[in-house]
C-alpha cells in the first residue's frame, strides 16, 4: 500500500505588486539619461566616435526616449503634489 501524501495547507497568493512610484522612476530615468549623456560627451572627447553612425543614432534615440520619459514622469509627479 502506498503511503498517504498529506498536502500542506495552501498559502495565500502574494499581494499584487504595487505600481512603481513615479518619483522613484523619475529619479531612475533621469540618472540613466545623465549617465548616458556623460558617456556620450562627458568632460573630454566623445566616447562614441568609433561606434559608427548607426550606433550613434541609436544612442541619441535612446536619449530622446529617456528624456521623454523624464518629462512625462515630471508631469505625473507635479499632478500628485497638487
User: pTM of the predicted model, to two decimals?
Assistant: 0.65
Look at residue 59 in the predicted model and tell me its pLDDT. Answer: 84
pLDDT tens sequence across 1-54: 566 666 666 777 777 888 889 999 999 999 998 888 887 776 666 666 677 788
Question: Which DSSP state fits 51?
Answer: G
Other Cβ atoms less than 10 A from the Cβ of 66: the count is 19
From residue 33, alpha-carbon distances to 6, 11, 14 in Å are 54, 42, 34
Domain ranges of the chain: 53-82
Backbone φ, ψ for residue 11 (5° rounding): -90, 150
CB 69 within 8 A of CB 26: no
Amino acid at each position: 500500500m502506498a503511503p498517504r501524501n498529506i498536502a500542506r495547507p495552501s498559502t495565500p497568493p502574494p499581494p499584487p505588486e504595487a505600481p512603481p512610484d513615479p518619483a522613484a522612476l523619475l529619479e531612475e530615468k533621469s540618472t540613466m539619461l545623465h549617465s548616458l549623456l556623460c558617456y556620450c560627451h562627458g568632460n573630454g572627447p566623445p566616447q562614441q566616435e568609433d561606434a559608427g553612425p548607426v550606433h550613434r543614432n541609436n544612442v541619441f534615440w535612446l536619449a530622446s526616449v529617456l528624456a521623454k520619459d523624464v518629462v512625462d514622469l515630471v508631469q505625473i509627479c507635479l499632478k500628485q503634489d497638487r
